A and B are shown apart, each in its own frame.
Chain A
Amino acid sequence: MHTSGTVNGTDASGKPTSTHAQRGVSPADKKYQGGLEKAGYKATAIQVDTYGSDRVNIYTSKGTTTSIKYKNFKKLKE
């Protein structure tokens, strides 16, 4: 899970920097999911992409299975 906001900071020379969440599923997300799978959780992870794109990514440790728009995801029912 990533924060949806922007974190402002400075580099070594004092120049301003800004950090925000990356779009999509990162290698770190996949690794974390891999750890859960090793621990016995056989579920698929759901990530709501809150920065830049309104998409919901569904993924396993091997990669993204599918990606749908957030407004369509909210309409999903049993």
Chain B
Amino acid sequence: MYKSKILFYLFFIFLCIKGYSQETKIEASFTYKGKKAKDVKYYLVDKDKAYLLPYKESKIQVPDTISTESINILVIHKKNQFHVPNFKYKEAYYLKTYFDNRLINNRVNKEFGGYSKLKYLFRCRYLIEDGLGYVTIVLKNKNKYELIN
């Protein structure tokens, strides 16, 4: 009897702690030339420093200590490095990012066309989609940050 009561209390405490935690988890992916890339790292940018965001089961975790409405995320995958500016992590449905510079079979142009292709012909451009109905185009970022893992 006592064991079951203790188990019940422990379970109740576990539910309370889990309910209190306000950590936001957002599905995040980076599609490189039509294929989902692995080993992508997402950092939270604060001036010259970039703090690694935990990434588990295709989801990034934004800590509950952040109180701002939007955050700046730095995405790094091999030689690809770009910013996700003013990412509204509380409202966004997901964070999908794309890169494709192929002339033939370019899926990014097919899905997100409408922008000037000449403008970005010789530039590394990345597309960001958050499910809120807008697509943001950013350029490759060569700035060096102090990466804190």
Contact = CB atoms under 8 A, between A and B. Distances in A.
A35 interface: no
A28 B141 contact: no
Contacts of B85: 9-12, 17
Contact of A52 (B113, B137, B139): B113
Interface stretch (A19-27, A36-44, A61-69): A19-27
Contacts of B133: 2, 21-22, 26, 28-29
Interface residues of A, number: 23
A20 B116 CA distance: 12
B114 A51 contact: yes
Nearest to B84: A11
A15 B83 contact: yes
Contacts of B93: 27-28
Interface in B96-123: 111-115
A72 interface: no
